[in-house]
Structure 1
Amino acid sequence: MFKLISQRVALGLLTLLLASALIFLGVEALPGDLASKLLANNATPENLAALRLELGLDRPMLVRYWEWLSHMLQGDFGASLSNKRAIIGDLGPRALNTFFLATYAAVIAVPLAVALGIIAAIRQGGIFDRLVNVVTLFSISVPEFFIGYVLVMLLAVKIRLFPVLSNVTPDTDFAQRLYLTFLPMATMVMVVVAHMMRMTRASVLAVMASPYIEMAILKGLPKWRIVVQHALPNALAPILNVVALNLAYLIVGVVVVEVVFVYPGMGQWIVDSVSKKDLPVVQACGMIFAAVFISLNILADVLAIISNPRLRHPR
């Protein structure tokens, strides 16, 4: 098992290295000259030369990539081009806001999805099962921003239960933060619950076709007990995998949701930085998202290995 986990971690680090190269190359491939865009009307030859020297644009791309990557590994994300402040100072509060929103959604979504999946498996073919399948299929098919705007129209404009914008500050207390972020949390929950619920239902029903489950049915055990005590433990591997993957989505998928609700997290920051041509901030946020996404994918692989003996002992 240690060898398998070590291989997954090594592949994850290699993937992160490739992701850093893609992020850097993607920013480098943007059309136009960065120095000219930043100076705009003041783009004289002297000013352009001085700014290119200051930003290091006069050096080869490989040299700049190595310096950027080595500084980032040391925790130095550089300075913002818009306000000249260190990125790490502004990154901390925004990262905490993003992780708070993702955690808030995960705490609601994971138990809800597993419970709905188990109930749907117990009542397979019933009204509840059909209704849940229709609702989850709809939420999977509809983009996040549409769900967000629908929730705003219903719960913020017409009924006025929650605010339209999620304006939180470092001084906002915990209860108020939960209230202000309810709508973006509900938007993300509606998206990820569908995937996890459908996988839970499918995994439990696949195990229900096993011979030992048929024996338990013949013994007269209640169906809920068969599902919870006998089927669910053997269906955990794919469920844990899809839960970990959806947690990764919660972290990197907040960009659209944060923009809809003007939430001061990393997603909103990266969109603002793109419009301002603040490329160091875009690179820093991109690396944070990539690192979190790859780490949670590695976690999904490790959980699958631990929970499934067939992966620990390949033929």
Structure 2
Amino acid sequence: MKNILLLICKRIGASLITIFVISLIIFIGVELLPGDVAETVLGQSATPETVEAFRKELKLDLPPHVRYATWLNHFVHGDFGNSLANKRPVAELVNWRLSNTLLLAMVTAFIAVPLSIFLGILAALYRNTLFDKMISITTLSFISFPEFFIAYVLIALFSVQLNIFPSLAIIDDNMGFFNKLYAIILPSLTLTCVVTAHMMRQTRAAIINVLGSAYIEMAEIKGIRGFRIIVYHAFPNALSPVINVVAVNLAYLVVGVVLVEVVFVYPGLGQLLVDSVAKRDLPVVQASGLIFSIAYIFMNLAADILSMLANPKLRQSNF
């Protein structure tokens, strides 16, 4: 138990260092953007005195390292600053958008995770058959297509041709839960097509790798059926790589949905990030980028911890 806690503490420490490095990269990247933020926000008609006063208000007259330390300190305490576009607190903008992104991610995960594991088990059970080959071809096709292409195909089919689902996933706080589900069904299906392919293929590969073990051969000699062998013997011992790929894809559902949100005009954090970049709303860009990074890092941290708990070999390692 002590060894497990030590490994978890090491992982948490490494994650915190990674977040610090990413925050530094985000700040430097924003600093290197061409043009002057104050002049961009105020416009070309602004007088030099107005621009200089606005620069002082944004603390752009301070040295970069002082502004970085101030920004990071405020971020840690939950103060993301104010938006340059509408003067509203960034935390207020981010909270609602992040909740929408998490809703889309949870609905997609609810569909994709059980479906991918079930298909992975069936593909491993009927490996090298026509069913397995058809599943492999289908998943490879979904992996090869970019998300926006799949989104437009679904829009053309279900919105234009069949007129079943809306082409724009516009939601607000006044909508009921089931109305929100109906509105986000197409972006959810788009993400499901992408992440299910990755998780299914990894599940299949992990189970097939375990099926070559000696204890599996012994179970087959005893006359245990193939489906029972996979579900009760092979799959539990293949959990570690499956957990990893599921966690990585769940992280993608939070941080990699920018294109999907833009295509469906979904009011999520990815759409907010794109709009803020276009408006040069730097406080929102910095906060959104760092929140995406934190979500991705801690999803991977959760995958590492669950993998250690599921695999005794990893609990004895020094990674």
Task: Please tell me the TM-score bracket, short chain as reference.
Answer: over 0.9
- Check whether the contact 1:93–1:170 (CA below 8 A) recurs between aligned residues: no
Identity of aligned residues (%): 51
The answer as to whether partners of 1:24 and 1:283 remain within 8 angstroms in 2 is yes
| Distance of 1:93 and 1:35 partners within structure 2 | 27
Once the two structures are superposed, residues 117-161 of structure 1 have per-residue CA deviations (whole angstroms, 9 ceiling, x without a partner) of: 000000011111111101111111111111101100111111111
Residue of 64, 68, 71 corresponding to 2:67: 64
Aligned pair 1:214/2:217, yes or no?
Answer: yes
- Unaligned runs of 5+ residues in structure 1 are none
Question: Which of the residues 266, 282, 286 maps onto 1:283?
Answer: 286
> Equivalent residue of 1:41, what SS?
coil
Instruction: State how far apart, in whole Å, the 2-side matches of 1:310 and 1:199 are.
Output: 20
Structure 1 vs Structure 2 CA RMSD: 0.9
Opposite residue 307 of structure 1, the aligned amino acid is A
**Corresponding residue to 1:309 among 301, 309, 312:** 312
- Aligned with residue 122 of structure 2, among 119, 124, 139: 119
Q: Are positions 1:180 and 2:219 aligned together? A: no
- 1:24 aligns to 2:27 (yes or no): yes
Q: Give the 3-state SS of the residue equivalent to 2:43 in structure 1.
A: helix
Report the Cα offset of residue 30 of structure 1.
0.6
Give distance in 2, aligned partners of 1:157 and 1:30: 40
The separation in 2 between residues aligned to 1:10 and 1:42, in whole angstroms, is 49
* Residue number in structure 2 paired with 1:101: 104
Corresponding letter in the other structure for 1:67: T
Q: Which amino acid aligns with 2:228?
A: R
Aligned pair partner of 2:86 in 83, 87, 101: 83
Kindly report which structure 2 residues correspond to 1:1-315, keeping only aligned pairs within 5 A, or say none. Answer: 1-314=4-317
161-170 or 305-314: bigger deviation: 305-314
Query: How many Å separate the matches in 2 of 1:137 and 1:310?
Result: 32
Structure 2's unaligned 5+ residue stretches are none
In 1, the alpha carbon distance for the partners of 2:163 and 2:29 equals 42
In the TM superposition, residue 239 of structure 1 has moved relative to its aligned partner by: 0.4
Runs of 4+ in 1 over 4 A off after TM superposition: none
Give the TM-score of the pair, scaled to structure 2.
0.97
Deviation at 1:27, TM superposition (A): 0.8
**Is the contact made by 1:152 and 1:164 (CA closer than 8 Å) also made in structure 2?**
yes
How many Å separate the matches in 1 of 2:93 and 2:212?
53
State the SS of the aligned residue for 1:202. helix
Q: What is the CA-CA distance between 1:67 and the residue it aligns to?
A: 0.4
Matching residue's letter, 1:213: I
User: 1:274 Cα shift?
Assistant: 0.7
Task: Tell me, yes or no, if the aligned pair for 1:35 and 1:48 is still in contact at 8 Å.
Answer: yes
Give the 3-state SS of the residue equivalent to 1:198 in structure 2. Answer: helix
Work out the CA distance in 2 between the residues paired with 1:48 and 1:3. Answer: 52
Deviation at 1:41, TM superposition (A): 2.1
TM-score by length of structure 1 reads: 0.98
Task: Note the C-alpha offset of 1:39.
Answer: 1.8
Task: Return the alpha-carbon distance in structure 1 between the equivalents of residues 182 and 275 of structure 2.
Answer: 25
Residue-pair matches, total: 315
CA distance, structure 2, for counterparts of residue 155 and residue 139 of structure 1: 18
